[in-house]
Structure 1
Amino acid sequence: MNKHNLPKIRVRETIVSYLFLAPALLFFFTFVVYPMLSGIFTSFFDYTLKKFNFIGLQNYINLFQDEIFWKSMRNTLVIVLGSVPVVVIFSLFVAVTIYQKKAGVRSFFRGVFYLPVVTGTVAVTVVWKWIYDPLNGILNYVLQSGGIIDEPIMWLGDKRFAIWAIIIILLTTSVGQPIILYVAALGNIPQSFIEAAEVDGGNNWQIFRKIKWPCLMPTTLYVVVITTINSFQCFSLIQLLTSGGPNYSTSTIMYLVYEKAFKLTQFGYANAMGVVLAIIIGIISFAQFKVLGNDVEY
């Protein structure tokens, strides 16, 4: 091959590569980059259906003076702190337990735990609405039959219980994927490491802590980050079950963004909330990478 033709061939290959990437890049810039930049831009405007006036940082000033925003922020943090550790610990426990079973049993349990993930949100909501129903729900029936409670509880209508009822539902739909990932990660641990530890007299806890857990750290980092982001973006369960009530006791930042934008048409104010939420998620994700990612090889 003539050496003078190499630059032309490389240019041609580069052009062809970008042509193949063009549809995905077009989709990415149209539905991800442009809406993101548009949201940041319009957060500096008093943007409604009737006006579009530049107001600088006023939306952000109003945001941090809004009691409902801070209540929604608190609810969001409760959901994140109440769900992420439980998802990680429970998923890891289940994965380690079922990994020791036969292949058929392992597949059965993976399917059972993953079923809520692939089930539609509306279908899941209908089932849980029946479970939480104060008059005909099975949860109150079981608790009353066992003498735990004397009167039916309005699980979704009482601000003392509503946010925790939401967290329980979120847990059932969040553990499926981590269990699948942990089972797969356990299968990638070299068996020779475990056999060597057993020969040296290591017990199950020592083998898990010294060998299995370090090998599971990349998966754990992914599970923690993704579960945190999904918890911060909790919306559909809130919308379908409580609509943020009672008295905003289950409202999250994502639900408040929806309410301000599509119910009250305060698009600029809603976009300011979205920007603040994105910054918070970015900071927490960065911290998680710094804390959990030190021993992870990419």
Structure 2
Amino acid sequence: MHLLHILHRHRFAYLMLLPGLILSGMFVFYPIFAAVFYAMQDWSGFNADIKFVGFQNFVDLFRDPIFWNAFGRSIYFLAGTVPAQLVLSLMLAMVLNNQLLKLSNLFRTMVFLPVVTPVAVIGIVWTFLLSPFNGPINGLLLDIGLIARPIDFLGSSDTVMPSVIGVYVWKWLGITLIYWLAALQTVPEDVYDAARLDNCKGLRLVVLVVLPIIMPFAVAITLITMVSALNVFPLIMSMTNGGPFFGSEVMEIFIYRTAFASDDGTIPRLGYAAAAGVLFGLMILGLTILQSLATRMARRRAEGVA
């Protein structure tokens, strides 16, 4: 009765929450439970022949070298994009945060423009720019004598991942720049004045003065960037479709190809792909939990220093 009384008393608040709860149930909670359910089924997704196999799909995944190759490429992509994106955006943020710099807002806008450009457009344009057949980048490298013949950036397994990593960093550099600029706004101006009196400049200023102050923000920015780098499906699909010869097939491409777009003549395996999706989701969940714990620890340490 007490619970009913509380519900009746706050009925308008719960009524306002109801649309959000319905949408969350339809597009968040139901897909999660459905993915776990299908991960325990042997099902192609195209017929009514569905068979419960328990954890067999997960056992098969751990024995699948193609799965581990895709997992390794996701880690490789993560290791290639996150440090470059963080360092470059922090350097730009330190420059653009200077109030004496003219046209800083214009430069910020220019860096941020790729962020709001559709991923499909970015992928198609860069595929043309990196083409070995009359591509502008190859033409420039040939003209200045850095290469003797065109490089097939997206057609070679040796260059495809570095090329995609470079495009990804270029596209999303602006969003990380905004994060750093927001963090730098919390550093008092008198801290910079005191550092100048002690002749602390450049890298020493960043390492010894700025980073300790914004460490809670730095931890959050790092882990947000890591989680974002694992969601690269649209860019790789528009640029390479996972090729050449699975050379750029990360986890998301593996899940998609296994579930819907098998190119080797085999029947799609929706249950197997769902199991891979569950493992990939647990990986992202682990990074999210790590973000929460690391941010809390960094905040407590900053408060202790203060």
TM-score normalised to the size of structure 2?
Answer: 0.87
Q: Confirm or deny that 1:279 pairs with 2:282.
A: yes
Given the alignment, which residue of 126, 131, 144 partners 2:124? Answer: 126
**Which has the higher mean CA deviation after the structures are superposed, 286-295 or 247-256?**
286-295
Shift of 1:214: 2.5
Give 1:149's aligned residue: 147
Shift of 1:289: 4.6
**Structure 2 alignment gaps of length 5 or more:** 263-267
Distance 1:196 1:271, change over 3 A: same
Given the alignment, which residue of 9, 19, 23 partners 2:15? Answer: 19
Shift of 1:203: 1.0
Equivalent pairs, count: 290
Q: Confirm or deny that 1:33 pairs with 2:36.
A: no
- Give runs of aligned pairs for residues 93-108 of structure 1, distance below 5 A: 93-102=91-100, 105-108=103-106
Deviations 1:58-90 (A, max 9, x none): 111111222211111111111000001111111
- Give runs of aligned pairs for residues 44-193 of structure 1, distance below 5 A: 44-48=40-44, 49-50=46-47, 51-102=49-100, 105-193=103-191
Give 2:265's aligned residue: none
Given the alignment, which residue of 264, 267, 271 partners 1:268? Answer: 271
Shift of 1:168: 0.7
Give 1:252's aligned residue: 250
Is the Cα contact below 8 Å between 1:134 and 1:154 reproduced in 2?
A: yes
Is the Cα contact below 8 Å between 1:42 and 1:268 reproduced in 2?
A: yes
Shift of 1:198: 4.2
SS at match of 2:75: helix
Shift of 1:97: 0.9
Counterpart Cα distance in 1 of 2:7 and 2:74: 50
SS at match of 1:294: helix
Shift of 1:102: 4.1
Give 1:240's aligned residue: 238
**Counterpart residue identity of residue 233, structure 2:** F
**Structure 1 alignment gaps of length 5 or more:** 1-6
Given the alignment, which residue of 296, 299, 303 partners 1:296? Answer: 299
Shift of 1:288: 4.8
Shift of 1:42: 1.1
Counterpart Cα distance in 2 of 1:195 and 1:229: 36
Is the Cα contact below 8 Å between 1:71 and 1:248 reproduced in 2?
A: no
Deviations 1:110-153 (A, max 9, x none): 11111011001121112201111111111111111122111111
Deviations 1:3-53 (A, max 9, x none): xxxx97x75563222211211121111100110111011101002222210
- Identity score, percent: 27
**Counterpart residue identity of residue 144, structure 1:** L
Is the Cα contact below 8 Å between 1:221 and 1:289 reproduced in 2?
A: no
Counterpart Cα distance in 2 of 1:177 and 1:185: 13
Is the Cα contact below 8 Å between 2:259 and 2:270 reproduced in 1?
A: yes
Shift of 1:284: 3.5
Is the Cα contact below 8 Å between 1:155 and 1:165 reproduced in 2?
A: yes
Give 2:200's aligned residue: 203
Counterpart Cα distance in 1 of 2:102 and 2:10: 47
Shift of 1:193: 3.3
**Which has the higher mean CA deviation after the structures are superposed, 100-109 or 266-275?**
100-109
Counterpart Cα distance in 1 of 2:225 and 2:124: 23
SS at match of 2:132: coil
Shift of 1:108: 0.9
**Which has the higher mean CA deviation after the structures are superposed, 259-268 or 82-91?**
259-268
Is the Cα contact below 8 Å between 2:220 and 2:291 reproduced in 1?
A: no
Shift of 1:226: 1.9
